Amino acid sequence: MDCTTQIEGNKGIVKLNGRFTFDAAAPFKIYTNAVLSDPKIAELHLDFSEVTYMESSALGVLLLLREKAEIKGVKVVLLKPIPAVQATLDVVRFGKIFEIRG
């Protein structure tokens, strides 16, 4: 999986591309930690529009990120998941703990 980041005001955006698997956890953490280290960030948006697959280990990584972001007072928002990824998020009811925007 590839990631890119950008900062827009108080919003950090991490755009994900490819398969979100266990192997992608380390690079994902590097990119998200870099964004979270910016003290002006109030929201972290994860753009899932180009994520083609997500395995269960990625769900755990998202939960850990959410915990870390909450400590810093940062809201995590999941953006534009494709139908297959949205189905995975729905099965585990992530819509109850994350804001998911289509």
Q: Which residue has the tokens 């899932």?
A: 48
CATH numbers and ranges of domains, the chain: 2-101 (3.30.750.24)
Distance CA 39, CA 72 (A): 9
Mean predicted confidence (pLDDT) in 91-99: 96
Residue 102: predicted pLDDT: 87
Collect all residues with Cβ–Cβ distance below 8 Å to 14 and sequence separation of at least 6.
3, 4, 5, 28, 31, 32, 35, 44, 45, 46, 47
Q: For the chain, give the longest Cα–Cα distance.
A: 34
**Cβ(83)–Cβ(64) under 8 Å?**
no
pLDDT digits (tens, 9 = 90+) for 33-85: 999 999 999 999 999 999 999 999 999 999 999 999 999 999 999 999 999 99
Residue 70: predicted pLDDT: 96
83's tokens: 């139908």
Quote the pTM value: 0.94
